[in-house]
Amino acid sequence: MAAESGSAAPIPGDFRARALALVARIPPGRVMTYGQLALLAGSPGAARQAGYVLNGLIGSEELPWQRVINAQGRVSTHKLGFGDLQERLLMAEGVPFDASGRCDLAARQWWPEDERAAPPQALF
């Protein structure tokens, strides 16, 4: 969340490290939401901070930043000028988007098998 002054709150290094480690594990053709990433990185409700962490990766080939999308199944990087790139990268991995720019989270969302915070399989 933003600090009172309007600037971004500092992101703890341990949160950043956990988030990046999770992003590295997302398999091709699967996606994770910003909120889910924050939850699994140990900071439930810190979706915006997860976005700040990933913002520094946009355009990089080191980690699959494109595999993190918003809770509506859409890319959130259009306002940064990278939305088309993110969609193209995901489509090249086999992630389809409908005419409104949404991907089917029920079919494509990835939860690590070893995470206790993962929803039961019945939700898919």
- What is the chain's length? 124
Distances (CA, A) of 48 to 22, 69, 94, 123: 16, 12, 26, 25
26 contacts: CB under 8 Å, gap ≥ 6: 32, 64, 67, 68, 110
Q: Tell me if 32 sits within 8 A of 25, measured CB to CB.
A: no
Domain boundaries along the sequence of the chain = 13-108
| Tens-binned pLDDT, residue by residue, of the chain (124 aa) | 333 334 455 566 799 999 999 999 999 999 999 999 999 999 999 999 999 999 888 878 889 999 999 999 999 988 888 889 999 999 999 999 999 999 999 999 999 987 655 554 434 3
Q: Which fold has domain 13-108?
A: Arc Repressor Mutant, subunit A (1.10.10)
Q: Tell me if 106 sits within 8 A of 70, measured CB to CB.
A: no
